[in-house]
Amino acid sequence: MKIAAKSPLIIKDLTHAYTSGSLVLKGINITVNSPEIIAIIGPSGTGKSTLLRCINRLVEATSGEIIIDDINFCKSKGILFKKQRRRLGMIFQEYNLVERLTVIENILSGRLGYMTFWKAARRKFSQKDIDQAFDLLDFVGLTEHSKKRADKLSGGQRQRVGIARAIMQDPKILLADEPTSSLDPKTSVEIMELISHFSREKKIPVLINLHDVNLAKRFADRIIGMSEGHIIFDGKPNDLTDDSLKQIYGGESWLK
Amino acid sequence: MVKVNQNRSNPFPKKLSTTLIWLVFITYLVYLINSFGLEWTRFVDGLSYANTLIERMMPPNFSRWELLLDGLWESIEISVIASSLGIFLSLFFGLFAARNLMPIYVSAPVRVFIALCRSFHPIIIAILFVKSVGFGALAGILTLIVASIGFIAKLFAESIEEISSKQIEAIKSTGASFGSIIIFSVLPQVFSRFIGFSTYQFDSNLRNSTMIGIVGAGGLGGTLFSAFQRFDYDFVAAILITIVSVILFWEFLSNVIRRIFT
Amino acid sequence: MNNINHSWERFTVRERLSRTIVYVISVITFVWSLKTVEIIPEFLYDAPEQMADLFTRMWPIDFAFYPIKVHDALIETVNIATLGTLTAILMSIPLAIMSASNIVKNPISHWVARFFLVSSRSVNSLIWALFFVAIFGPGVIAGVLAIGFRSIGFIGKLLGEALEEVNMGSVEALRSTGTSWPIIMIKAYWPQVKPAFVSIILFRWDINVRESAVLGMVGAGGIGVVINDSLNLFEWQRVSISLLTIFVLVILAEILVVSIRKRLI
C-alpha cells in the first residue's frame, strides 16, 4: 500500500486583489509533491510574481489558504510566522542583494531568520554558519569574491550569491521569481543548473517563474501554465503542446 | 549638378527673450545701486578707514589668552553637546518623517516641525532662547539643537526615502525580525550618508557657536563682540585666527572620521 | 576538505580599532563637555515656563506695524542679499579658477586660492558684518559686503569643484586649434559648468536671504535693524510681525528658487 507522502505545500483557492478591487489571482490551487521542480509560465501581468510573493507573504493574499506542513501559513503570527517564513527561500529576478555589504555578508544574511536581534546587531554568526557560508561560496564558484562588495559583481555572480543566501536559510521550499530574466542565455542555464542541483541534493521542491519556455521544458519536472490569474495547464513538460502554449500566451505568430 | 536649396541663416540667432532678461537685470542693478544711495565718496572714505583698521589689527594680540580659551572651550562644549543631542534626536525625527516607513499622519506633522526648525536663522532662535532661559551656554545649546534637527533630520528622512526597497524585500523574505531588517538592509544604505551629515553639522555648529555669543548665547562670540565694542581690534584678530584654525582642524578631523566609517 | 577553519570578521583589526577609538573619544568628549559646561540648573527647569511666557507676550501679532517699517526693511533685505550675491560672484570667479587644479597648474596659486576661500567661509556673515560696520559705519554697504565676502568661499569652493569635474576632451580640442585661453574658458569650460553654476548661485542666494535678515542686528541694514529696535524696546508683538515676515520671505524665496530650477534643468 502506497502511503501518500505528506505534501510540503498546498495552495487552496488563493485569490489576490489589487487595492482597486480587480482580481489578479483568481483562485489558485496547487499541490506540491516533494521534491519536484515546478516551472510556472505565463504572460507578463498574469500574476506569477504575485503568486510567489503571496506564498511567502511578502504580499498578503485576499483569500485562500497556504498550507505548509499542515499549518495554514496565512493565519500564522508572531514566532510561528517567523519560523515558517524562514523555511521559504526566495531568489529574486533582480538579485536583491544588499549592495553595500560584502558577498559573504549577503550569504550569511540568509541566517537572519534564525538569529535574535542582538546577535544580528553584533554580527555574531556561529562557526557552523560561517563554515556553511564558505562552503556554499565555494560551491557556487565565487571563492575569491568573498570580501567584495555586492555591487561590484556581474549579474550572473550576483544571482549565485542570491541562491547561496536562499540555501543558507535551510529552506523547505525554494521560490524563484524569474531568476534568469536579467541574464544572458549561457548564464541562465548555469543558474538553472545550480537551482536544480540544490533541489535534488537537499530534496526540496522549487517553484520557479520562467519566461523562457524552453528553459522550463528542459529543467522542470512539472509545468504550470497561468493565464489571466487562472491555472490552465498543470502537467509534465512533454505534455505541453503548441495548443496549450497558445492557450496560455495567446496569439500564434510567436510560435514557430 | 543639382543645386540644393540650403537655408543659410545665422546658426546663432539672437533670442529676444535673452535680451529682455538682460535688460531687466541691468535695470534692476541700476535701481539697486541708486536706492542704496551708495555714494562713491563714502565708500572711498571707508576704504581708508579700513586701512587703519587693519593696521590696528596687526599684530594679533594673544595676551588675554585665558579669556580667549574660556570662550573657545565654551563654544566647543556647546557644539559637542548640541551636536550629540541634535544627532540623536534627528535619528528619530528623521525616521518618523520618512514617508516610505510611516503613515501620513505621523510623517506630515514631523516634517512641518523640521521645516520650522530650518526656517529661522540661528541668531533669531538664539535671541528667543536667551530671552526665555537667560544668558549663557544653555541658550546656545538649545539653539544649536534646533538648528541641527532642522538640517540632519531633513536629510536623513530624504536618504531613507531614497533607499531601494528591493534590498529590504530580500532580507524580509529570510524571516528576519524588524530590527534585523533595519540593520541589514536600511542601515547599510544610509549609514555613510548619515555620518557625512553629522560631521558637516558639527562643523556648522562650531561656526555658529562662535557667533551666537553676540546675542548672549555663550561662547567665543560674546568675547568677540565685546572686543569689537571696546575697539580692541588686535584681540579681535587673535580671536578670528583662533576660530579659523579650529574650523580648519575640524575639517581635517572630519575627513579622517569619514574615511574610517565609509 | 572541510578541515579549513574558516573565520570571518566584518572589519579588520585596524578598522575595528579606529572605529572604537572614534566612539570612545566621542563619548569622552560628550561627557566631559556635559560636566564642564556652565548651566544653572534652575534656568533649565524654568525653561518651558519662560518660553511659554515669551510666546504669550508675542501674541497677538502687530500687523499694523508692517507698512510702517517692516515692508521697507523687507525690500532692503532682499536687495542686500541680491547685491551681495552678485558681488560674491564677481570676486569668486577668479578664485575658483585659481583653485581648479586642471586650469591653473601652479600649486602655490592653488593654496593661496584655497586659503582665501576657507577663510571667507570660516568667518560668519555676522562677524563680517561687525567688521564692515566698524569700517563703513552702519547701513547697507556693510551688509552687502558682509554677504559678499561670506559667499565668496561658498561659491568659489563649489565652482572650483565643478570646474575640476569638467570633461577635458573639449578643452583639449579647442586648445589644439590654437584658440586663446579666455575663449577656451568661455566656449569649453563655461557650457559645462553652467548648470552647476546656476544651481550654486540659486542655493547661495536662498541662504543669503536668510542671512541678510539678521545682519541688521549688528547694524548692517535690513529687517534685522527693525527686530533689534523692537527687542530693545521690548515690543514683542512687533518682533513677531518681523519674524512672520521673515518666515514668509524665506518660503517665497524657496518657491522662487525651486521654480527657476525646474525651468532650467
Which chain B residues in 178-207 lie under 8 Å from chain A, judged by CB atoms? 179-180, 183-185, 188-189, 192
Helices (H), chain C: 13-36, 41-57, 65, 71-99, 107-122, 125-136, 140-164, 168-176, 181-184, 190-215, 223-232, 236-264
Chains that touch A (3 or more CB pairs under 8 A): B, C
Which chain A residues in 114-133 lie under 8 Å from chain C, judged by CB atoms? 123, 125, 127, 130-131, 133
Residue C170 C-alpha from the chain's centroid: 32
Residue A112: its pLDDT value, please? Answer: 87
User: B113-135, pLDDT tens digit by residue?
Assistant: 998 888 888 988 998 888 888 88
Rounded to whole angstroms, what are the CA distances from A134 to A165, A194, B90, C11? 11, 16, 39, 17
Cα–Cα distance for residue pair A128/C46, rounded to 1 Å: 58
* Contact assignment for C123 to B244 by CB distance below 8 Å: yes
Cα–Cα distance for residue pair C155/C142, rounded to 1 Å: 20
* Contact assignment for B137 to C39 by CB distance below 8 Å: yes
> Which residues make beta-bridge pairs with A177?
A209
ipTM: 0.76
Cα–Cα distance for residue pair C131/C139, rounded to 1 Å: 12
Alpha carbon dihedral B129, B135, B138, B143, in 10-degree steps, equals 40
pLDDT confidence tier of residue C2, bands split at 50, 70 and 90: very low
Which chain C residues in 50-79 lie under 8 Å from chain B, judged by CB atoms? 50-51, 53-54, 79
- Residue B220 near residue B239, CB atoms below 8 Å: yes
For chain B, what percent of residues have pLDDT higher than 70?
Answer: 91
Nearest to C22 among B38, B141, B257 (CB): B257
- DSSP characters for B169-218? HHHHTTT--HHHHIIIIIHHHHHHHHHHHHHHHHHHHHHHHTTGGGGTSS
If you count residue pairs, one on A and one on B, with CB atoms under 8 Å apart, how many are there? 84
Topology of domain C62-264 in CATH is MetI-like fold (1.10.3720)
Residues whose CB is less than 8 angstroms from the CB of residue C224 and which lie 6 or more positions away in sequence, other chains included: C77, C212, C213, C214, C215, C216, C217, C218
User: C131-179, pLDDT tens digit by residue?
Assistant: 888 888 888 888 999 999 999 988 998 888 888 888 777 788 877 887 7
Q: Looking at beta carbons, which residues of chain B come within 8 Å of A169?
A: 174-175
Length of chain C: 265
Query: Residue C234 pLDDT more than 60?
Result: yes
Residues whose CB is less than 8 angstroms from the CB of residue B46 and which lie 6 or more positions away in sequence, other chains included: C135, C136, C137, C141
The verdict on C40 touching B (C-beta cutoff 8 Å) is: yes
Q: Looking at beta carbons, which residues of chain C come within 8 Å of A122?
A: none
* Contact assignment for B174 to A113 by CB distance below 8 Å: yes
If you count residue pairs, one on B and one on C, with CB atoms under 8 Å apart, how many are there? 138
**Among B190, B204, B232, which residue's Cα sits nearest to residue B64?**
B232
What's at C222, amino acid-wise?
Answer: G
Residue A175: its pLDDT value, please? Answer: 93
User: C17-52, pLDDT tens digit by residue?
Assistant: 888 888 888 888 888 888 887 777 777 777 788 888
Chain C: give the shortest CA distance to residue A166, in Å: 20
Interface mutation target, options A100, A122, A124, A165, chain B, most CBs of B under 10 Å: A100
Chain C: give the shortest CA distance to residue B235, in Å: 13
Report the phi/psi class of residue A45: left, alpha or beta, with left for phi > 0 and alpha for psi in -120 to 50: left
pLDDT confidence tier of residue C4, bands split at 50, 70 and 90: low
Q: Looking at domain A1-87+173-180+206-256, which CATH architecture does it have? A: 3-Layer(aba) Sandwich (3.40)
Interface mutation target, options B173, B177, B181, B190, chain A, most CBs of A under 10 Å: B173
> Which residues make beta-bridge pairs with A12?
A65
Whole-model pTM over 0.80: no
* Contact assignment for A104 to C7 by CB distance below 8 Å: no
* Contact assignment for A86 to B174 by CB distance below 8 Å: yes
* Contact assignment for B36 to C140 by CB distance below 8 Å: yes
Q: Looking at beta carbons, which residues of chain C come within 8 Å of B129?
A: 51
**What is the average pLDDT value for chain A, to the nearest integer?**
88
Residue A2: its pLDDT value, please? Answer: 44
At A30, list the grid cell: 496547487
Chain B: give the shortest CA distance to residue A166, in Å: 8
Query: Residue C265 pLDDT more than 80?
Result: no
Question: Given strand A37-41, what is the order of strands in its sheet?
Answer: A88-91, A173-177, A206-209, A37-41, A222-227, A230-235
Residues A89-97: what's their mean pLDDT? 89
- Residue A173 near residue A204, CB atoms below 8 Å: yes
Per the CATH hierarchy, to which homologous superfamily does domain B65-261 belong?
A: MetI-like (1.10.3720.10)
Phi and psi at B20, nearest 5°, equal: -60, -45
Domain locations in chain C? Answer: 62-264
